[in-house]
Amino acid sequence: MTSTINEAETNPDEAAPLPSQKPGWRKLLASLGNRKTAYMLLFGFASGLPYTLLLSTLYAWMSDAEVDLETMGVFSLIGLAFAFKFLWSPLLDRIDLPVIKGLGHRKQWIVTAQALLAVILILVSRLDPSGAIGLLSVLAGMGAFASATQDVVMDAWRVDVADEVATIDILSTVYQLGWRSAVLVGGALALFMAERTSWPAVYAMLGVVMAVVAFASIFAPEPARTTASLTADDDALRELRSAGQLSPKVRGWALAIVGVLWAWALVTVGDFMFRSLSSDPAARPDSVKFIQNMGPVIVIATVVVPVIIAAVLENWRRKGRYVLDATVPKQGGLDSLVDQGYRALILPLTEFVGRLGWAVIIVLTLVLTYRFTDTVWGSFAYPFYLGELEYSKDEVAIASKFFGVGALMLGIALGGALFSFIGRMPVMLIGALTAALSNLLYADLALGGHTMAAVSDFTGFTTLVEAFGGDQRLAKLMVAIAGENLAGGLAGAALVAYLSSITAKGYSAVQYALLSSLTFLVGTLGRGALGQMIDEQGYYPVFILTTLLGMIAVVFCVIEWWRQARLGKRAGIVAAG
C-alpha cells in the first residue's frame, strides 16, 4: 500500500491540483445539478447563519436591551475563534467521535457542530441580555467555537468531495452563495421579524432551522477518501519508521517545538477571552493592545515558525540527513504518541511545503495580500458612511445591507460562471484587480461623489431610486457600494476556489484552516495604522493608498498564474511521454 506520507510524489494530480479546466455551459449545468453542489449550498447557509446571529445580529438585540457599548465590544472577542480555528484543526482531521462515527469522518463533526449550534440558539432565545450577560457570553463563546469547528470540517469536505462534475470552483461558488443567503436571513430578515414579533421568537425559530439543517446533513455524501483516525491508520504510521524517513528523535523534537507553540497560542487566546468576558469593565484587558501586540507574535509562533520547521525537515528528508537506514520498531507508548502527533500536526505542513517548494513564498504572499483591501476597510465603513458622509442609518441599511448584499451575491455568481469559461487564475487576477480599483469609488465619494453621481444619472439609476422615494445622494452611495461589493464577491469566490485547489485531500482540514486564517491577518493588523492615517489625513489619501497596496496581490496573481501554467505544461509533457 502506498503511504500518504509521500503523497506529493506518488500522486501529483491529487496533491498538486493543476489550473482549472474551462468546461463550458454543459458541465456547468451538470455541476449545478449535482447532489454534492446542493449540499455545499446548504453547508454555506449553515456556516453563515450562526456567524451572523452571534457576531452581528446579537448586537441589535443587546442594543434594544440597553447593554452598554463596552460590553458589546468585549463580546466581539468571540470572533477570535474564527481567526485561530486552525489551532484545533488537527484534532478534527484525526479524531473520531464515539457513537456517531458511523456517519463518516467528516459528517460526524458537521452534524455534531450543527446540532450543538441549534441547541445554543434555542437556549439564547430564553435569555435576557441585560440580566444574564454572563451566561449569554458563555453560550455565545461556545457557539462561536462550534461554528468555527463546522467551518473547518466543511472546508475539508469541499476539498475531499470535489470531482470532475462537482468541481472545486463551483462548490466554492455555491458555498459563498449559501453563506451570503444566510447573512440575509440572519441579518435583514431577522431584524424585520424582530420588529414584528420579538428577539426570543427570532432566535428560537432560527435555532429550529439549524436543527433541520443538522438533520439534513446526516444524508450528505461522505467523501470516499478522507484522513482516517489515528488508530485505524496503521500503515501510514508504520511508514514513518521505515528506511528513508526522518529519525524518531528528530521528529520528536519538531513535534515538541510546534506542539508547545500551538498549545501556548491556544491557552493565550483562551485565557484572554475568558478574562475579557468574565471580568468587570474596570478589570478587562485591553483588546486593541492584545491584538496589536500579541497578534503578530501568535501568528509567528503558530504559522511562520512551524512552516520554517516543516521546510527544514523536508529538506533533510530529501537530502537523506537524519534519516533511518532501516525500519525501526516502536519502543513503547511514547513512540506511538510521537508518531501520531507528528502525522496530525507536522505532516500537513511538510506535505504543503514539500509539494510547493520555493513556490510556497509566492502562495503565502498571495494569500496574505489578496483580501487586504476588504479586511482593512471593514472597521471603518460605518464611520465613513455615517460620520464623514453623514448618511442616515436607514440610508446605509438600504444601500449596504439590502442592495449591497445583492451586488455581493451577483459578484459571487459571476465568479462561478467565469470559472467555467476562462479558468481559475484569470478570475483570481480579475478579482484582485477589481477589488483594488473599487477603493477608487470610495475615494470619489470622499471628494463629493461627482463621478458616482454622473454614473448614476447616465445609467438611469438615479431615476429608479427616486421612484422609490430616494434621491441622487442615496443613488451615488448605492452605486459605489454595488461596485465594491460586486468586486468583493467575485474576489471572494475566486479566493475560496484557489485555497481549496492548493490543499491536499489527505490534509485538507489543517491546510485550509491555516490558509484561510492568513487571509485576514494583514488587514486586521493594519487597522490601527489605517485609523491613525484617517485621523491625520482624512479618507481620500487612505483610499488611494489601499488601491496601490492592492496591486501587490495583482502582481502575485500574475506570478502564480505563470507558475501554474508552467506546472500544467510539465504535466502535459510527462503525460505525453
Q: Would you report the helix, strand and coil content of the chain in percent, each value rounded to 5?
A: 80, 0, 20
Does a structural domain hold residue 351? Answer: no
The x, y and z cell numbers of residue 348, run together, are: 500537513
Residues 296 and 223 in one domain: no
Sequence-ordered list of residues with C-beta below 8 angstroms from that of 226, at least 6 positions apart, any chain: 104, 105, 106, 156, 160, 505
Query: How high is the pLDDT of residue 399?
Result: 83
Does a structural domain hold residue 74? Answer: yes
Q: Please tell me the distance from the alpha carbon of residue 217 to that of residue 39, in angstroms, as a whole number.
A: 8
Residues 241 and 292 in one domain: yes
Query: How high is the pLDDT of residue 464?
Result: 92
Neighbours of 526 (CB within 10 A): 16
Q: Please tell me the distance from the alpha carbon of residue 20 to that of residue 420, in angstroms, as a whole number.
A: 9
Residues 59 and 113 in one domain: yes
Does a structural domain hold residue 7? Answer: no
The x, y and z cell numbers of residue 571, run together, are: 504535466
Transcribe 236-281 into DSSP letters: HHHHTTSTTSBPHHHHHHHHHHHHHHHHHHHHHHHHHHHHHHHS-G
**Of the candidates 179, 196, 227, which is a domain's last residue?**
227
Q: Give me the helices (H) in 284-346, please.
A: 287-299, 305-319, 333-345
Does a structural domain hold residue 314? Answer: yes
Contact 476, 493 (CB under 8 A): no
Query: How high is the pLDDT of residue 280?
Result: 66
Contact 230, 343 (CB under 8 A): yes
Closest of 435, 402, 408 to residue 489, by C-alpha: 408
Residues 331 and 451 in one domain: no
Neighbours of 472 (CB within 10 A): 17
Neighbours of 549 (CB within 10 A): 18
In the chain, how many domains are there? 3
Query: How high is the pLDDT of residue 525?
Result: 62
Q: How far is C-alpha 475 from the geometric centre of its chain's CA atoms?
A: 32
Residues 562 and 414 in one domain: yes
- Each of the 577 residues of the chain gets a pLDDT tens digit; together they read 333 333 333 333 333 444 445 555 566 566 666 788 889 999 999 999 998 898 878 877 887 787 765 666 666 667 777 777 877 887 787 778 888 888 888 899 999 999 999 999 999 999 888 777 778 888 888 998 999 999 989 988 888 888 777 788 888 888 988 998 898 888 878 877 887 888 899 999 999 999 999 999 999 988 765 444 334 455 666 778 888 888 888 999 999 999 899 889 878 877 876 777 666 666 767 766 776 777 778 878 888 898 899 889 988 988 999 988 888 877 666 777 788 788 877 888 888 888 888 888 899 899 888 988 877 676 677 678 877 888 887 787 788 777 888 888 888 888 888 887 888 899 999 999 999 999 999 999 999 999 999 999 999 999 999 998 889 999 999 999 999 989 988 998 889 889 888 888 777 777 888 888 777 666 666 666 677 788 788 889 989 998 998 999 999 999 999 998 888 777 666 555 5
Q: How would you classify residue 96: left for phi > 0, otherwise alpha for psi between -120 and 50, otherwise beta?
A: beta
Residues 192 and 293 in one domain: no
Contact 273, 77 (CB under 8 A): yes
Burial 193-211 (b: 16+ CB within 10 A, else e): bbeeeebbebbbebbebbb
Does a structural domain hold residue 198? Answer: yes
Closest of 536, 559, 502 to residue 155, by C-alpha: 502
Q: Which residue has 503558530 as its cell numbers?
A: 302
Partners of residue 483 on adjacent β-strands:
none
Burial class of 365 by CB neighbour count within 10 A (0 to 12, 13 to 18, 19+)? middle
Residues 221 and 237 in one domain: no
Q: Identity (one letter) of the amino acid at 273?
A: M
Residues 366 and 471 in one domain: yes
Residues 21 and 70 in one domain: yes
Q: Which residue has 438600504 as its cell numbers?
A: 398
Query: How high is the pLDDT of residue 109?
Result: 93
Does a structural domain hold residue 426? Answer: yes
CATH number of the domain residue 187 falls in: 1.20.1250.20
**Of the candidates 199, 227, 255, which is a domain's last residue?**
227
Whether the CA torsion 216, 220, 226, 229 is positive or negative: it is positive
Residues 281 and 364 in one domain: no
Does a structural domain hold residue 558? Answer: yes
Residues 556 and 420 in one domain: yes
Residues 164 and 149 in one domain: yes
77: DSSP letter: G
Sequence-ordered list of residues with C-beta below 8 angstroms from that of 403, at least 6 positions apart, any chain: 478, 481, 482
Q: Please tell me the distance from the alpha carbon of residue 540 to that of residue 83, in angstroms, as a whole number.
A: 30
Query: How high is the pLDDT of residue 230?
Result: 39
**Of the candidates 202, 227, 252, which is a domain's last residue?**
227
Q: How far is C-alpha 411 from the geometric centre of its chain's CA atoms?
A: 18
Does a structural domain hold residue 9? Answer: no
Query: How high is the pLDDT of residue 232?
Result: 41
Domain interval for residue 41: 17-227
